[in-house]
């Protein structure tokens, strides 16, 4: 089964079930069971033992605690507790009232998460969760659906992080590029210079970012997103009432009547300061030799940084809440409600990790890469094919980083052997395809965290984002076709953006005519 076409079965089955049933945990669970039995030759005992092993290794691996996963899961709980304190203190309500005075239009409320998503480029996890906490009170006030907020978060976090050299993604990619250049004896440019030169050829990223702002200014509510936005405006129901909503509180406590904006801003500020400071400290400690900003972000420990930042935020929010006078709910109740609010996200993330491990053991990514190697490829269209393969790989495996690790060396090797001038566009296509697949995958951790940060039902976020990701992917494909025809980078980029604008105008014109009728 491993490394063959049959290795696609769990991933494809899971994706089909998610779309048909809209029950993400059930779909993931079936994918895990099928994959486990495939790996064990349909042996019931061995299959069950493998499933238990997949679950237990999330927490303990090779006799030691799996601290990376534990820190991330703990951070999600800390984020839920912080949110509960900010809500119970009346800070979210106070910020919402202030925002209504300062941000006077629904369009302005939509611009807030989009702009914040671009400004916070250090890490995609941090981006997704921090932007959601700041923007949610504002978007809620203006009856913007949580699905739309999740789309804004997801379609700015990974795209901006993957083209930023000073980010956790950028640092990892630059390190990988350095080894690829050395392995293929390419000395025309250094790794950082190559990364900068690759940015304009990452067509999907720019298409996705442009589309975010077109949806704001042209009101492009496509497919299921239109249903969510209409329900939010007409009824004030911001989420799908039929689905679980990670990050939402159950109103078991009363919000304080005298909350201040500081009760929201100070915990968020503590989260940002604690996370960034720890990223810098861990980066310095883990760096051997010369220490510079790029080296710091290449060697930082993101998960422990998020945990420390979350801990600082909880302490700050808790102290502020404890200092409030007047009738209020008990600290223990607020604490527990914050934990319960994050349980749906935790369940989905744990199941996503388990099926990701199954897919890895089945060597699904390696199979796709091998098929790519064996294909008879016209070198001019190498970036286009790499974009498509990387997109499908990230969609199936749910990981951008895993796709980077497999596809970047392969793309570099093929381009170096066939046409060295195509090496940077080919590497860019890997990054573009990986982000595209990540945006479409229900088992992607960044997709899960985006829905968590927005307080949206996870499958609603996946389904509403798909049309926008598809539009950006079509535009990017046009760009890569033109790159193959012209050998240029900038002209195809302009063409990609033009295609996005044209599609946006056509959709806007169509929906406007329908509304008039």
Give one DSSP letter per residue of 267-289, joined into a string: HHHHHHHHHHHHHHHHHHHH--S
Map residue 120 onto helix, strand or coil: coil
Residues 6+ apart with CB under 8 A from 512: none
**HSE of 261 in the Cβ direction (CA atoms, 13 Å)?**
8
- Give the C-alpha separation, 331 to 62, whole Å: 38
Tell me the whole-structure pTM to 2 decimals: 0.79
pLDDT at residue 410 in the model: 81
Residue of 445, 20, 469 lying closest to 246 (CA atoms): 445
Query: What is the per-residue burial (b if ≥16 Cβ within 10 Å, else e) of 482-502?
Result: bbbeeeebeebbebbbebbee
CB-count burial class (<10 Å; 0-12, 13-18, 19+) for 332: exposed
pLDDT at residue 244 in the model: 60
pLDDT at residue 327 in the model: 64
User: What spatial distance separates the first Cα and last Cα of the chain, rounded to whole Å?
Assistant: 55
pLDDT at residue 179 in the model: 80
Residues 47-61 have pLDDT tens digits of: 999 999 999 988 988
- Give the C-alpha separation, 199 to 188, whole Å: 17
- Give the C-alpha separation, 3 to 126, whole Å: 34
What confidence tier does 161 reach under pLDDT thresholds 50, 70, 90? confident
- Yes or no: say if 95 and 418 are a contact pair by the CB < 8 Å rule: no
Residue of 287, 277, 363 lying closest to 313 (CA atoms): 277
What confidence tier does 516 reach under pLDDT thresholds 50, 70, 90? low
- Yes or no: say if 172 and 430 are a contact pair by the CB < 8 Å rule: no
**HSE of 295 in the Cβ direction (CA atoms, 13 Å)?**
9
Residue 483, sorted as left (phi over 0), alpha (psi -120 to 50) or beta, turns out to be alpha
Mean pLDDT over 62-88 rounds to 84
User: Among all chains, which residue has been given the structure tokens 């009432």?
Assistant: 241
Residues 272-324 have pLDDT tens digits of: 888 889 988 988 988 887 787 777 877 788 788 889 988 999 999 989 988 88
Residue 124, sorted as left (phi over 0), alpha (psi -120 to 50) or beta, turns out to be alpha
What confidence tier does 92 reach under pLDDT thresholds 50, 70, 90? confident
- Give the C-alpha separation, 464 to 337, whole Å: 28
- Give the C-alpha separation, 147 to 158, whole Å: 17
Residues 459-503 have pLDDT tens digits of: 899 999 999 999 999 999 999 999 999 989 999 999 999 999 999
Question: What are the angstrom distances between the C-alpha of 272 and each of 112, 168, 304?
Answer: 17, 15, 13
Residue of 31, 9, 22, 23 lying closest to 352 (CA atoms): 31
- Yes or no: say if 151 and 461 are a contact pair by the CB < 8 Å rule: yes
Residues 216-274 have pLDDT tens digits of: 999 899 989 999 999 999 998 988 776 666 555 555 556 677 788 888 889 888 888 88
Cβ neighbours around 87 below 10 Å, total: 26
- The residue with greater pLDDT, 175 or 248, is 175
Give one DSSP letter per residue of 19-74, joined into a string: HHH--HHHHHHHHHHHHHHHHTTS-HHHHHHHHHHHHHTTTEETTEE-HHHHHHHH
pLDDT for residue 102 is more than 70: yes
What confidence tier does 107 reach under pLDDT thresholds 50, 70, 90? very high
Residue of 371, 342, 457 lying closest to 76 (CA atoms): 342
- Give the C-alpha separation, 64 to 75, whole Å: 20
Beta bridge mates, 60: 65
């Amino acid at each position: 089964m491993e490394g063959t076409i049959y290795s696609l079965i769990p991933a494809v089955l899971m994706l089909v079930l998610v779309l048909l049933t809209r029950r993400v945990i059930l779909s993931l669970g079936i994918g895990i069971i099928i994959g486990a039995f495939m790996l064990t030759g349909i042996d019931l005992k061995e299959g069950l033992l493998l499933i238990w092993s997949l679950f237990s290794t999330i927490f303990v691996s090779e006799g030691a605690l799996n601290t990376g996963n534990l820190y991330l899961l703990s951070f999600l709980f800390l984020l839920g507790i912080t949110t509960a304190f900010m809500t119970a203190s009346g800070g979210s309500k106070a910020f919402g009232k202030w925002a209504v005075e300062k941000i006077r239009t629904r369009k302005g409320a939509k611009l807030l998460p989009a702009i914040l998503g671009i400004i916070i480029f250090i890490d995609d996890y941090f981006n997704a969760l921090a932007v959601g906490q700041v923007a949610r009170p504002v978007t809620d006030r203006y009856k913007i659906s949580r699905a739309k907020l999740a789309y804004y978060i997801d379609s700015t976090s990974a795209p901006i992080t993957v083209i930023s050299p000073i980010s956790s993604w950028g640092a990892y990619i630059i390190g990988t590029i350095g080894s690829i250049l050395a392995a293929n004896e390419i000395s025309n440019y250094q790794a950082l210079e190559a990364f900068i030169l690759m940015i304009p050829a990452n067509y999907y990223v720019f298409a996705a970012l442009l589309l975010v702002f077109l949806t704001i200014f042209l009101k492009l509510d496509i497919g299921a997103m239109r249903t969510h936005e209409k329900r939010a405006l007409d009824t004030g129901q911001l989420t799908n009432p039929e689905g679980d909503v990670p990050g939402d509180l159950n109103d078991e406590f009363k919000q304080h009547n005298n909350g201040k904006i500081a009760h929201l801003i100070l915990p968020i500020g503590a989260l940002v300061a604690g996370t960034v400071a720890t990223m810098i400290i861990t980066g310095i400690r883990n760096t051997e030799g010369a220490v510079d900003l790029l080296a710091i972000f290449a060697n930082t420990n993101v998960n422990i940084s998020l945990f420390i930042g979350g801990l600082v935020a909880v302490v700050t929010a808790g102290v502020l809440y404890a200092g409030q006078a007047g009738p209020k709910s008990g600290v223990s109740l607020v604490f527990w409600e914050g934990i319960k609010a994050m349980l749906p996200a935790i369940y989905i993330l744990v199941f996503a990790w388990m099926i990701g491990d199954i897919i890895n053991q089945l060597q699904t990514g390696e199979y796709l890469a091998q098929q790519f190697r064996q294909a008879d490829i016209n070198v001019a269209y190498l970036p286009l094919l790499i974009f498509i393969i990387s997109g499908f790989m990230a969609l199936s495996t749910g990981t951008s980083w895993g796709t980077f690790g497999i596809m970047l060396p392969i793309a570099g090797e093929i381009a170096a052997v066939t046409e060295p001038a195509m090496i940077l566009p080919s590497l860019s296509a890997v990054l573009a395809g990986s982000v595209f697949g990540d945006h479409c995958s229900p088992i992607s951790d960044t997709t899960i965290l985006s829905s968590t940060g927005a307080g949206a039902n996870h499958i609603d976020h996946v389904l509403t984002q798909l049309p926008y990701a598809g539009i950006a992917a079509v535009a990017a494909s046009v760009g890569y076709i033109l790159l193959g025809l012209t050998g240029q980078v900038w002209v195809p980029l302009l063409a990609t953006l033009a295609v996005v604008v044209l599609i946006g105008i056509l959709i806007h014109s169509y929906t406007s005519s329908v509304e008039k009728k």
